[in-house]
Structure 1
Amino acid sequence: MATETQEIDYTLNNPDTLTKYKTAAQISEKVLAEVSKLCVPGEKIVDICEKGDKLLEEEIAKVYRGKKINKGFSHPTTVSPSSYVTPYTPLKSDEAEAAVEIKEGEPIKIQLGAQVDGFGSIVCDTILAAAEPKEVIEGRDADLILATHYANELLLRLMVPPGLLASGTDEEKAKAAAAKAPSQAKITDLLQKVVKSYDCNLVESTTSWLFGRNEIEDKKKIVLAPSEGSKGEGVPEVGEVWGVEMGVSLGSGKVKQFDNRTTLHRRTTTTYALKRPSSRKILSEVQKKFGTFPFSLRQLEDERDAKTGVVECVRGGVFRQYEVVGDKDAAPVARLLTTVAITKNGLTKIGAPPALDVSKYKTENKITDEEILKILEQPLARNTGNKKNKKKKKTTKEGGAEEKESE
């Protein structure tokens, strides 16, 4: 007899799946906006992370009340300073790191996410920390933000399956659909042209992942500017949800591992006979609270015990640790992460950082490559007749198309 789990369709063919993704995304976007307000010079990063997690918990508690649906974090609140590439979440019990404060003018990467019934949405935005908001941002700060924005918009368009939005005769549509999706080498080449226009570089091995139920690193991935030995696998297809990441550096884009303690982990599917009581204790706590989604050691009941118990969990392969990685040249880095769904009507940003007002960023640099400008003019999805939330996109004088569609 088939079990209940086998009977449920967890693909995007089931409208409930997309609803759960969107519910998680709405929470993620709302909390991201609130955490962004907290990121001002002089504030301690660990305090911001804790406040962000509390906000996530409060918002998650408001949805699907009274229903037996698993819900929680898909990613804890992380706040990464200027040259940090990976999500950063310090501990209160590490005195030196607990004292780390946000500095004036540095690009701060905020990443967090919620999940409903195992369907997670993760978002990341980069903001320039300032005691007082600036009306106009110029120079290298503007270059970094614009390069990241346009590279991200280009990557999203390159992920739309060939021919999906084609118009014209049946023959023209069939020809467009028969075209091959761009290789990951081609994608990297085009994106490098975008960021080079602003005298920036892609961050080495920036990776976008296929999402699944209870899984944020599924069987497909796109790796940009891959390091030696790393490569992407597969191409985006209709019916899939992806976490699309963009990383840009004002330096070479090469990365190195920092000396910071690893505090971000996630449970794997590996089983191992843990010997230490502290290890078994935190494994049980993680399974109950976070499942297979990432968590911070500071989210566990006893932070000091967690630092001890996690060692055996990592050694036995029960936990995967996310090392703290940053720019090799200590150059400023910007990152974006968008959760997208690919449907028969195109690509939808389910959960995304807020739309960038490009008019606030002034620089002498701009995109001039005609191939890139042409791709940036393309829509992400076809107009299905719902005009309520759609506006026309405009071409900016910085040299790209600013997407104004909102779902």
Structure 2
Amino acid sequence: MADATEAVDHTLNNPDTLTKYKAAADISHKVLETVTGWCVEGAKIVELCQRGDRLLGEEVAKVYKGKKLAKGIAHPTTVSPSAYVTPYTPLTTDAEEAETTLKAGEIIKIQLGAQIDGFGTIVCDSIVIPSSVNKNDEMPGRQADLLLATYYASELLLRLMMPPGMLASGTDEEKKKAQSDKPVSQSKMTQLLDKVVKSYGCSLVENTTSWVFDRNEIEGKKKIILAPGEGQRGEGIPEVGEVWGVEVGVSLGSGKLKTLSNRPTLHRRTTTTYGLKRPSSRATLSEIKQKFGLFPFSLRQLEDERAGKIGVVECVRGGVVRQYEVVGDKDSEPVARLLTTIALTKNGIVRLAAPPSPDLEKFKTDKKITDEEILKILEQPIAKSTGAKSKNKKKKKKPAKKAENEEEGESSEEE
């Protein structure tokens, strides 16, 4: 039996792998849409996170019934206030933070994800809490600038990640020439994305990182770091057959970071081994292994939140658990983030879990992208047409005459 297990191909060459990714993505989309609807003025963030996680669990339980495979939450529901950069999930036992509510007109980030058999799909969207100013869903002024900058930066990054010649057409010689081009370097990615956000008077968030995803792993060996700080650098280039979590963060301020005073509540187990001395620490680690594997979790998801807050301390100190510090914009300016889980296939990019495409006609700003090189890249499709008509025919506002043609329609039959 062990040999048979070893022989299973968990790459995208196995159609079952893509099927599981898509099943997880369907759940991520459904829960994101529902949580978005709950986000109104006065809603408590901790309650939104709790409800989102319950819904994730309920939806995951409906699929692959009777199958002996692990499934669950790939990323707990987090709702990050305006100037917060990292995913935020307060605890019910931290009285002050448990009272944190959403404010009318603020830009928040909702992040969550489901996993089936270790294949995780994480998605993050940025929305504006309804207010009298944007009651008709229109985004005025600086809100529009920030959301447009983030949207176009994300669309550009996807196209820059495509291996050279992936969608090349023409003669064999022309295809070969296109495939011989060098992949876009990470410094070039930062340079081009910086131009996009500067068009809207915004800045890239420092050290925004995209990771290659593997089975049971959302921070693989390869990573792309945008606007890297001192001593930071990405490693590796995207290749066909890989799944990536592609993230873009944009700020109305400088994009520089500061660590906030909030308790770190988001954690993830590492592969480090360490002899924990305290029984409470060992009990906490045992629960983490059983419930979450190597996926991120919030301390509020533990059976006893108070005991978990104590037990996790030695786990972090010993390196068996990593804690994610709560980080915000240094200037306390609003930040927007988008995170899309994609598969790089022979037919192009498949958006597995992605934030919904905005109706760009709702964004009211006089700013736009004028750089010809960027506009040309944004016009490129991200996948080959399969002959199916695009489902997304929304009119796009012009900074970029982007062909988002068949962006999702091409998500089938790709390995």
Cα displacement (A) at 1:400: 4.5
* Contact 1:266/1:294 (8 A) holds in 2: yes
Cα displacement (A) at 1:134: 2.6
Aligned partners of 1:39, 1:403: CA distance in 2, in Å?
Answer: 28
Q: CA offsets per residue over residues 226-283 of structure 1, 9 Å max, x none?
A: 0101101011000000000010000000001101000000000111111111111111
The residue identity in structure 1 corresponding to 2:122 is: I
SS at match of 2:26: helix
Map of 1:159 onto structure 2 = 161
TM-score normalised over the length of structure 1: 0.97
Map of 2:100 onto structure 1 = 100
* Contact 2:381/2:403 (8 A) holds in 1: no
Map of 1:227 onto structure 2 = 229
The residue identity in structure 2 corresponding to 1:87 is: P
Cα displacement (A) at 1:15: 0.3
Map of 1:130 onto structure 2 = 130
Matches within 5 A, 1:281-300: 281-300=283-302
Cα displacement (A) at 1:137: 1.4
Map of 1:340 onto structure 2 = 342
Aligned partners of 2:233, 2:213: CA distance in 1, in Å?
Answer: 18
Q: Judge which range, 316-325 or 275-284, deviates more.
A: 275-284
Aligned partners of 1:134, 1:321: CA distance in 2, in Å?
Answer: 40
Cα displacement (A) at 1:192: 0.3
* Contact 2:359/2:395 (8 A) holds in 1: no
Map of 1:63 onto structure 2 = 63
Aligned partners of 1:80, 1:172: CA distance in 2, in Å?
Answer: 47
SS at match of 2:77: strand
Q: CA offsets per residue over residues 294-343 of structure 1, 9 Å max, x none?
A: 00000000000001000000000010110000000000000000000000
The residue identity in structure 2 corresponding to 1:103 is: K
- Over the aligned positions, Cα root-mean-square deviation in angstroms equals 1.3
* Contact 2:360/2:396 (8 A) holds in 1: no
Aligned partners of 2:195, 2:380: CA distance in 1, in Å?
Answer: 18
Judged with a 3 Å threshold, the aligned counterparts in structure 2 of structure 1 residues 318 and 121 are, in CA distance, closer, same or farther, namely same
Q: CA offsets per residue over residues 69-127 of structure 1, 9 Å max, x none?
A: 10001000000000000000000000110011111111110000000000000000000
State the identity as a percent.
68
Aligned partners of 1:84, 1:254: CA distance in 2, in Å?
Answer: 12
SS at match of 2:343: strand
The residue identity in structure 1 corresponding to 2:299 is: L
SS at match of 2:267: strand
Map of 1:89 onto structure 2 = 89
Cα displacement (A) at 1:136: 1.8
Aligned partners of 1:372, 1:50: CA distance in 2, in Å?
Answer: 41
Aligned partners of 1:46, 1:400: CA distance in 2, in Å?
Answer: 40
Aligned partners of 2:374, 2:274: CA distance in 1, in Å?
Answer: 49
Structure 2 unaligned runs (5+)? 410-415
Aligned partners of 1:141, 1:354: CA distance in 2, in Å?
Answer: 17
Aligned partners of 2:388, 2:140: CA distance in 1, in Å?
Answer: 37
Cα displacement (A) at 1:182: 0.8
SS at match of 2:261: coil
Matches within 5 A, 1:3-402: 3-131=3-131, 133-387=135-389, 389-390=390-391, 396-401=397-402
Aligned partners of 1:275, 1:63: CA distance in 2, in Å?
Answer: 39
Aligned partners of 2:397, 2:334: CA distance in 1, in Å?
Answer: 25
Cα displacement (A) at 1:2: 5.9
Judged with a 3 Å threshold, the aligned counterparts in structure 2 of structure 1 residues 252 and 400 are, in CA distance, closer, same or farther, namely farther
Aligned partners of 1:264, 1:191: CA distance in 2, in Å?
Answer: 29
Structure 1 unaligned runs (5+)? none
Paired residues in the alignment total 406
SS at match of 2:402: strand
The residue identity in structure 2 corresponding to 1:164 is: M
SS at match of 1:401: coil
Cα displacement (A) at 1:366: 0.2
Map of 2:412 onto structure 1 = none
Aligned partners of 1:49, 1:234: CA distance in 2, in Å?
Answer: 34
TM-score normalised over the length of structure 2: 0.96
Aligned partners of 2:340, 2:179: CA distance in 1, in Å?
Answer: 25
Aligned partners of 1:391, 1:38: CA distance in 2, in Å?
Answer: 25
SS at match of 2:245: strand
